[in-house]
Amino acid sequence: MSYQRPIPLKNHDNHPYWDAADCHELSLQKCECCGEYAHPPGPSCAKCGSTELSWENLGSDIKGTVYSYVVSYRPFLPGFQDEIPHIIAIIELEKAPSVRIIGNILECRPEAVNIGMPVQMVWVDITEDRALPQWKAVL
Amino acid sequence: MGNISNRYAIVGVGESERSKNSGRSPLHLALDAARAAIADAGISAKEIDGFMSYHENDSCTSHQLATYLGVRPKYVKDITGGGSSTEMLIADAIGLIEAGMLNTVLIYRSMNGRSGVRMGGGGWDMNLLQNAIDGGSFIIPYGAGGPGQWFGLFATRHMHETGITKEHLGHVCVSFYEHAQRNPKAFFNGKPLTMEEYLNTPDLVYPFNKHDFCLESDEANAIIVTSAERAKDCKSRPVYIMGISGRQCHPHTHYWSDLSQVASDYVAPEVFKMAGVKPEDIQVASIYDCYSWVVLRQLEAYGFAPRGEVGDFVADGHLKMGGRLPSNTAGGMLSEGYTHGMNNVLEIVRQIRHEYQGTDRQVENCEIGICTGWAGPDMAGAMILKN
Ligand SMILES: [Zn+2]
Q: What is the number of structural domains in chain A?
A: 2
Grade residue B252 by pLDDT with cuts at 50, 70 and 90.
confident
Of A70, A101, A132, the CB nearest to B205: A70
Confidence at residue B54, expressed as pLDDT on a 0 to 100 scale: 97
Do A112 and A84 belong together in one domain? yes
| Secondary element (H or E) of residue A124 | strand A118-125
Same domain flag for A73 and A49: no
A4, part of any domain: no
Q: H/E/C letters for each residue in B225-239?
A: EEEHHHHCCCCCCCE
The Cα B105–Cα B88 span in angstroms is: 13
The answer to whether residue A3 is domain-embedded is no
Measure the CA–CA gap between B87 and B81, rounded to whole angstroms: 11
pTM of the model: 0.96
- Residues A92, A25, single domain; the answer is no
Distance (Å, whole) CA B373 – CA B86: 8
Architecture of the domain whose range is B8-117+217-231: 3-Layer(aba) Sandwich (3.40)
pLDDT tens, position by position, B291-309: 999 999 999 999 999 999 9
What confidence score (pLDDT) does residue B1 get? 44
The answer to whether residues A36 and A92 belong to one domain is: no
Residue environment code for B115-140, b if the CB has 16+ CB neighbours within 10 A, otherwise e:
bebebeeeeeebeebbeebbbbbbbb
Domain enclosing residue A26, as ranges: 10-59
CATH of B145-215+239-387, one of 1.10.1760.20, 3.10.129.10, 3.40.47.10, 3.40.50.300: 3.40.47.10
- Indicate whether A114 and A75 sit together in one domain: yes
ipTM of the complex: 0.97
Residue A46 and residue A74 share a domain: no
Q: Is residue A17 included in any domain, yes or no? A: yes
Least confidently predicted of A77-91, A111-125, B165-179 = A77-91
Q: Do domains B8-117+217-231 and B145-215+239-387 have the same CATH topology?
A: yes
Are both A81 and A116 inside the same structural domain?
yes
Is there a contact between A76 and B121 if contact means CB atoms under 8 Å apart?
A: yes
pLDDT in tens, A40-86: 999 999 999 999 999 999 999 999 999 999 999 998 888 898 889 99
Are A9 and B204 in contact (CB < 8 Å)?
no
Average pLDDT over residues B93-119: 94
Give the gap in angstroms from C-alpha B125 to the nearest C-alpha of chain A: 10
- Counting one residue from chain A and one from chain B, the pairs whose CB atoms sit within 8 A come to 116
Q: What is the CATH number of the domain that holds A108?
A: 2.40.50
pLDDT at B119: 72
Least Cα separation, residue A35 to chain B (angstroms): 17
Residue B141: pLDDT band (50, 70, 90) is: very high
Q: Mind telling me the catalytic residues of B?
A: 288, 338
Residues A82 and A137 in one domain: yes
Angle between helices B292-301 and B264-275 (to 10 degrees): 50
